[in-house]
Amino acid sequence: MKSEFLIVTNGFKETWSAIEYGAALAQSMRMKITLLGVTEELNPAAIDDHHPLEDIFAQAVELFQKLGVEYSLDIRNGVAERIIPEIANKGDFITVVSPLGRPQFKRWLTGRSIRFLMEEIRNPILYVPQACLPVKKLLVTVGGLGYGEAAENIAVQIARANNADVTILYVVPPTDLDYPSTRGVRAHVNDLAETDTLPGRSLKKALEIAQGAGLNAKTKARQGIIVEEILAEIREGDYDLVCMGSAYSANTLRQYYAPNVTAEVAESAHCPVLTARHKQA
């Protein structure tokens, strides 16, 4: 079954970024959209009142029709953080979500919603703080052990559909260990893809896949604290989309894709971030 985009809104104005960005990708990739509207804290006494979800649904339908994408509408009552995973895990979806407008105190107390969604949703998630369109520059991060392949495959599909350039990034983390393999990686940061090291082979394989798909692709390595280096590359490269292996792809990659790494990148990046879990063969 072909994947669909599950675009989510609770009526908060910032969720328009998810709708706009998801619709653009759906058009270029010829994928269907399900627009999920969540009505939160519905007061029975105000059931006939105008809900902000009505306006954003009307605008979204107008956009979908203008772009010529196939779509369906779904409205549920409840808390978005509970409804979204419930629906997302029932189908082959790429879930597209923007900030849900939670109060600052709640974000401080429980964390941002994207952290919870990353943990609960098994399928890929596209977090859109703002719609960076058109999609012309993609950044793909690799971890060296193959667990980012799901994200890499989606990145290639998106890049092909949008004729976008791809940069494949590996960050060499700080370490106090002095193994021969570690020394080899540190000594070849500038030409890591040419080495026979584990991250070098991973970079080379990802590059071959991208170039085999006809994409203009290159590899790059940085050295330092992983989150800081990824964010620095995003700022310097002015990317329209970042694709990463999921925070919950595999325990063996926690040094690279620990829950706070992908979440912190998603929360701090100015552009959309797509995460995809590793799928066991």
Note the pLDDT of residue 31.
Answer: 97
pLDDT band at 26 (very low <50, low <70, confident <90, very high): very high
Note the pLDDT of residue 137.
Answer: 97
Question: How confident is the model over 134-169, as pLDDT tens digits?
Answer: 999 999 998 755 556 888 999 999 999 999 999 999
Note the pLDDT of residue 254.
Answer: 47
Nearest-angstrom CA–CA distance, 113 and 101: 10
Q: Which residues lie across from 4 on neighbouring strands?
A: 93
Q: Please say if the pLDDT value at position 70 is more than 90.
A: yes
Distances (CA, A) of 256 to 127, 149, 197, 248, 261: 19, 14, 17, 11, 7
For β-strands 33-39 and 137-141, DSSP reports them as unpaired
For β-strands 217-223 and 137-141, DSSP reports them as unpaired
Cis omega (within 30 of 0) for bond into 124: no
Cβ pair 198, 216 in contact under 8 A: no
The stretch 11-20 carries a mean pLDDT of: 95
How are strands ordered across the β-sheet holding 4-9?
A: 71-77, 33-39, 4-9, 93-97, 125-127, 273-276, 241-245, 137-141, 165-172, 217-223
The stretch 180-191 carries a mean pLDDT of: 61
Note the pLDDT of residue 252.
Answer: 44
Of residues 223 and 149, more confidence is placed in 223
How much is the mean pLDDT over the chain?
84
Note the pLDDT of residue 146.
Answer: 52
pLDDT band at 197 (very low <50, low <70, confident <90, very high): confident
Least confident of 16-30, 84-98, 210-224, 242-256: 242-256
Nearest-angstrom CA–CA distance, 10 and 79: 9
Q: Please say if the pLDDT value at position 92 is more than 60.
A: yes
Least confident of 111-115, 150-154, 163-167, 209-213: 111-115
Dihedral of CA atoms 157, 26, 134, 7 in degrees, nearest 10, equals -110
Q: What domains can be seen in the chain, in order of their start residue? A: 4-127 (3.40.50.620), 137-276 (3.40.50.620)
- Proportion of the chain above pLDDT 90, given as a percent: 59
The stretch 65-72 carries a mean pLDDT of: 98
Q: Which residues lie across from 208 on neighbouring strands?
A: none
Which candidate, 118, 145, 83, 156, places its Cα nearest to that of 276? 118
